[in-house]
Amino acid sequence: MKRASTETVLDRELADLPPDLRWREWLRRVEAVLFASAAPVARDDLARVVGQGASVDLLIEDLAADLADRPYEVARVGGAWMLRTRPAYAPAIRTAADVGGQALELSEFDLAVLVAIAVHQPIGRDGLKEIFGREISRDVIGRLAERDLIGTGPREPRRGAPYTFVTTETFLAAFGMQSLRDLPDPEQLDDAGLAAR
């Protein structure tokens, strides 16, 4: 017996709507997808909910303009987008909402290792040891990986070919960056006491 499909077919083109209402509906769909997603959403994924003639970039621009006076904004993370609360509302959220599970809860040293990985990636354990003057424990690396802030990069081109570490899109999202180009330059890191030795 053939089972009925419960999946609804999405009318992407919306040809029965006038152009302005069609655009508004596509805009709402993009906003709904970004709102519902826990991770940044790539252009290709957003393109699956709008018509073929729709520009995802222009829809994102219009959505950002629509949200200009709202407590949240559209943020670009890597090659994807997400909705993010504006920093001015962080104290209100921490006061009223249970966001404990979302906090990074990293020590200063964990953050220093994360900065070193971000700035010098791909970097292996030997490179981290050179920066910090001591071996970095598996616990530190494990905490960063567990929170999906780092992942494994290419293998080092030497005997035994150990893996290197790189940051992830979760890292970019957690620190409000669009790309690694948003990292402070070496002089800023030096001024903050975070530059390599």
- Write down the domain spans for the chain: 19-89, 104-191
How would you write the pLDDT of the chain (197 residues) with one tens digit per residue? Answer: 455 555 678 999 999 999 999 999 999 999 999 999 988 999 999 999 999 989 999 999 999 999 999 999 999 998 899 999 998 998 898 888 876 666 678 899 999 999 999 999 999 999 999 999 999 999 999 999 999 999 999 998 888 888 999 999 989 988 888 898 888 887 777 777 655 54
CATH of domain 19-89: 1.10.10.10
Fold of 104-191: Arc Repressor Mutant, subunit A (1.10.10)
Dist. CA 117–CA 127, nearest whole Å:
9
* 16's tokens: 């029965």
Determine the Cα–Cα distance for residues 143 and 6; give it in Å rounded to an integer. Answer: 41
CB 57 within 8 A of CB 66: no
- pTM for the whole structure: 0.68
pLDDT at 110: 94
Q: Which pLDDT score, from 0 to 100, does residue 176 have?
A: 83
Quickly count: other Cβ atoms within 10 Å of residue 31's Cβ: 17
| pLDDT, position 195 | 58
**Residue 172: exposed, middle, or buried by beta-carbon count in 10 A (0-12, 13-18, 19+)?**
buried
Whether 19-89 shares its CATH topology with 104-191 is answered yes
**Tokens 């699956």 identify what position?**
48
Q: What is the 3-state secondary structure (H, E, C) of 139-162?
A: HHHHHHHHCCCEEEEEECCCCCCC
